[in-house]
Amino acid sequence: MKVIELEKEAPQLLDLLRLARQEPILLVTADGEEFVVSEADDFDFEVEQLRSSMSFQRFLEARASETETLGIDELESLLDTEVGNADSERSDAPDETPEMFARSIFHRKGPSPDTNS
C-alpha cells in the first residue's frame, strides 16, 4: 500500500486513480486522518450491497439466533433418505431449485435472504 502524506504532496485526482489501479493508496491528512483509495471490484460492491440490505441483516440475525444444529453424520443420513425418497416420489414432478430442495429437507420457517432491499 502506497502512503501519501497530503501535507507534503497534493496529487491530482487522475494521478491518484492511476496509482490506485496498481495498488491501494493511503492518504494521510495534516491532522492524521486516513483515507484509502482503491479500485473497487465486484466482490467489494456485493459486500457493500449486502451490508446495506436490511432484509439480509434480518436474515443473518435470525440465523445467528438459531440453536439447533445437525452433525455431519445426521445430515448425510438425512440427505441420503431424502434423495432416495425424492427419486422415487418425483419422477413426474417439476424440477425444484436447490433452495427449494434444502427448505423441504430442513423445514426452515425463518426468513430467507433477500438482497434486493
User: Per-residue confidence of the chain (117 residues) as pLDDT tens digits?
Assistant: 889 999 999 999 999 999 988 888 889 999 988 888 888 776 777 787 788 888 888 888 888 888 878 788 888 888 888 777 666 555 555 566 666 666 665 554 444 555 454
- Supply the pTM of this predicted model: 0.38
CATH 3.40.1620 residue spans of the chain: 2-40
CATH no. of 2-40: 3.40.1620
For residue 88, what pLDDT is reported?
A: 58
DSSP of 51-65, one letter per residue?
HT-HHHHHHHHHHHH
Q: What is the predicted pLDDT for the residue at 109? A: 45
Q: Which residues pair with 3 in a beta bridge?
A: 26
Write the CA distances from 88 to 65, 76, 79, 83, 91, integer angstroms.
36, 19, 14, 9, 6
Q: Is 84 left (phi over 0), alpha (psi -120 to 50) or beta?
A: alpha
- CA angle, residues 65, 48, 56, in degrees to nearest 5: 30
